[in-house]
Amino acid sequence: MTLGVIGLGLIGGSLALDLKRRGFASKVLGVENDTVAAQAALTIGLADEIVPYETCVEKADIIVVAVPVGTAVKMVPEILDKIGPEQLVIDVCSTKSQICHAVKYHPKRQQFVSTHPMAGTEYSGPWAAQPGLFDGRACIFANTEESAPKAVKTIEEMYGVLNMRPTYMNADQHDVHTAYVSHISHVTSFALALTVLDKEKDEKHIFDLASGGFASTVRLAKSNADMWVPILTQNRDNVLHVMDTYIDKMQQFRDAVANIDEDKIRELIEEANRIKRILR
Amino acid sequence: MTLGVIGLGLIGGSLALDLKRRGFASKVLGVENDTVAAQAALTIGLADEIVPYETCVEKADIIVVAVPVGTAVKMVPEILDKIGPEQLVIDVCSTKSQICHAVKYHPKRQQFVSTHPMAGTEYSGPWAAQPGLFDGRACIFANTEESAPKAVKTIEEMYGVLNMRPTYMNADQHDVHTAYVSHISHVTSFALALTVLDKEKDEKHIFDLASGGFASTVRLAKSNADMWVPILTQNRDNVLHVMDTYIDKMQQFRDAVANIDEDKIRELIEEANRIKRILR
């Protein structure tokens, strides 16, 4: 099986790496427009060859679109236009509604499977790719009823090789849920970094005093703008809704601190502690 | 050297564990009012004996006050009242101004060293204590000019055994800095947990979809109210100042998303990315 991966960054690169190592793909054709990243991907061994986009679309049995979601929304219908009846296309984007809408009435819609492997780090580029990135994590399959059952089965097998747990969901529901458990976390980290950088002029002290807690809370603020600008704009309505709730909670907390209302602060903290029941 | 530790939780317990293992203390006397925690501390081996408060204050060469800061502010002057000329008292609290003010004019002020070992986890209690917790982290010494040089030297040696990097700072400055790099991170995590718990009724989905990013951002929301209520109220003015900046940054982000202003979102993310230069 020849795997084509368009975009050899953190997700595309890690996926290529494990699918080749674990024998699912006999050959990986990579597409990477950035020449430095392309050379790095070859050196690291993420792909067997770097090929032009057209070659990948022509030759790969499964084409993985692993580019920022703004680009993917335009690219997936174009690829569907060109592929033969046995080829499959998947995307791995973090928002699902727009991409599913973009291909909804495409005559080859059944050859497309929309997925979101819920794994990653705050780093990007081929140098961020790592083996084992997906093991044990959830992979969302969106709107599978619009794909051919055989296509879904093949892609389930592919993610099975990556040891991912499949979860099935409507694309719109996906975008609501990820606004809560992924997108808002990124926004809160960005805002935290902005706050600290803005106020803490003496950068040495940030480094000196940063305990593990700060580092883990601000970690996602290292995330890449190319990826996150389209996610936040495509998922605007859901993200806004969560941000407004968040600002409201923060304001409640602020007022409790301002009023030195110990009972209210305790109540808020103990309510927040309930997250323990859900996350280890 | 007999070490007395009042409060055998995460910090007190971990400190007792390594100071005994590494030979700095020949004996650890623990004080723990919670009977379950006291029994656990003995079982885990955090202390050689659990003793009454008075016994600890009478017999220990160095008395470590490792209780929530609201209690510590009252306890440290009382202990100073009772100790002999060769005994030392330290605190390990996360805010420094109030405790330093509380003992500023105490006749035995020189026998007190105020410290903040910048290490921890989101867990609490003796069962959260762990060896190696402090290795390689920063330890802040506040207002050392108010302590006897010999006392400071002894406590520096003690933290040296824990492999901590000493940093010296005015108590008020400490409270400003920690508001930025520690206290606000906790508040943002609490608010994040509250937001997600409030909106995401189907808790299974939080668990399913939570990627590593969400887990790390919300981790501090598991932190204990007994510890955090007094920190946030004692450091009210600094915390409020940082929270207001944070809410302002969040509001800027919200407006950029609401207006689908891609340039502004990119600008905010790239500005936030500067945190990379400071934190690995």
Domain boundary among A142, A169, A196: A169
- Looking at the fold, whether B143 and B12 belong to one and the same domain comes out as yes
- Looking at the fold, whether A114 and A74 belong to one and the same domain comes out as yes
- Looking at the fold, whether B31 and B148 belong to one and the same domain comes out as yes
Contacts of B211 in chain A (CB under 8 A): 118-120, 137, 181-182
- Looking at the fold, whether B41 and B111 belong to one and the same domain comes out as yes
- Which of B170, B177, B180, B200 to substitute to test the interface with A, most A CBs within 10 Å? B180
| Contact (CB<8Å) A213/B220 | yes
- Looking at the fold, whether B217 and B270 belong to one and the same domain comes out as yes
- Looking at the fold, whether A162 and A200 belong to one and the same domain comes out as no
Domain boundary among B140, B169, B198: B169
Residues 252-271 of A with CB under 8 A from B: 253-254, 257-258, 260, 262, 265-266, 268-271
Contacts of A214 in chain B (CB under 8 A): 181-182, 185, 279
pLDDT for position A206: 67
Contacts of A231 in chain B (CB under 8 A): none
By the 8 A CB rule, do A3 and A25 touch? yes
pLDDT (tens digit, 9 = 90+) per residue, A223-245?
999 999 999 999 999 999 999 99
- Which of A140, A211, A255 to substitute to test the interface with B, most B CBs within 10 Å? A211
- Looking at the fold, whether A178 and A44 belong to one and the same domain comes out as no
Looking at CA atoms only, how far is residue A92 from chain B in angstroms? 14
Q: How confident is the model at residue A126 (pLDDT cuts 50, 70, 90)?
A: very high
Write the residue in B205, B246, B277 that is nearest to A195 by C-beta.
B246
Number of H helices, E strands in chain B: 14, 8
Looking at residue B140, the DSSP 8-state letter turns out to be E
Share of chain B above pLDDT 70, in %: 96
Write the residue in B240, B253, B254 that is nearest to A257 by C-beta.
B240
Q: Where are the beta strands (DSSP E) in B163-245?
A: 165-169
Contacts of B194 in chain A (CB under 8 A): 249, 268, 271-272
- Looking at the fold, whether A24 and A58 belong to one and the same domain comes out as yes
- Looking at the fold, whether B82 and B179 belong to one and the same domain comes out as no
Closest-approach residue (CA) in chain B for A203: B278
Name the domain count of chain B.
2
Residues 207-236 of A with CB under 8 A from B: 207-225, 228-229, 232-233, 236
The C-alpha atoms of residue A10 and residue A240 are separated, in whole angstroms, by: 27
Beta-sheet strand order (sheet of B2-6): B49-50, B27-31, B2-6, B62-65, B88-91, B112-117, B138-142, B165-169
pLDDT (tens digit, 9 = 90+) per residue, B131-153?
999 999 999 999 999 999 999 99
pLDDT for position B277: 81
Here the ipTM equals: 0.88
Looking at CA atoms only, how far is residue A56 from chain B in angstroms? 30
Q: What is the CATH number of the domain that holds B118?
A: 3.40.50.720
Whether A202 shows a pLDDT value over 80: the answer reads: no
The C-alpha atoms of residue B118 and residue B30 are separated, in whole angstroms, by: 22
Tell me the backbone φ, ψ of residue B178, rounded to 5 degrees: -70, -25
Across the range A109-127, mean pLDDT stands at: 94
pLDDT for position B207: 66
- Looking at the fold, whether A164 and A180 belong to one and the same domain comes out as no
- Which of A71, A184, A275, A276 to substitute to test the interface with B, most B CBs within 10 Å? A275
pLDDT for position A212: 76
Q: Alpha helix (H) ranges present in B4-92?
A: 10-21, 35-44, 53-59, 69-82
Collapsing DSSP states into helix, strand and coil, what is residue B145? helix
pLDDT for position B213: 84
The C-alpha atoms of residue A223 and residue A226 are separated, in whole angstroms, by: 9
Q: How confident is the model at residue A25 (pLDDT cuts 50, 70, 90)?
A: very high
The C-alpha atoms of residue A161 and residue A170 are separated, in whole angstroms, by: 24
Looking at CA atoms only, how far is residue B167 from chain A in angstroms? 8
- Looking at the fold, whether A130 and A182 belong to one and the same domain comes out as no
Query: First-to-last CA distance in chain B?
Result: 38
pLDDT (tens digit, 9 = 90+) per residue, A36-45?
999 999 999 9
Can you give the residue range of the structural domain that contains A30?
2-169
Across the range B244-257, mean pLDDT stands at: 96
> Between B203 and B114, where is the model more confident?
B114
Write the residue in B220, B223, B229 that is nearest to A266 by C-beta.
B229
Query: What's the mean pLDDT when you consider all of chain B?
Result: 94
Least confident of A133-137, B18-22, B195-199: B195-199
Write the residue in B178, B200, B213 that is nearest to A180 by C-beta.
B200
Whether B278 shows a pLDDT value over 90: the answer reads: no
pLDDT (tens digit, 9 = 90+) per residue, B97-110?
999 999 999 999 99
Domain boundary among A119, A146, A169: A169
Write the residue in A186, A195, A262 that is nearest to B245 by C-beta.
A195
| Contact (CB<8Å) A216/B216 | yes
Whether B208 shows a pLDDT value over 90: the answer reads: no
Write the residue in A138, A229, A276 that is nearest to B269 by C-beta.
A229
Question: Chain B contact for A185, CB < 8 A?
Answer: yes
Write the residue in A120, A254, A279 that is nearest to B247 by C-beta.
A254
Q: How confident is the model at residue B210 (pLDDT cuts 50, 70, 90)?
A: confident
Give residue for tokens 């330890």. B139
- Looking at the fold, whether B47 and B91 belong to one and the same domain comes out as yes
Contacts of A219 in chain B (CB under 8 A): 213, 216-217
Q: What is the CATH number of the domain that holds A206?
A: 1.10.3660.10
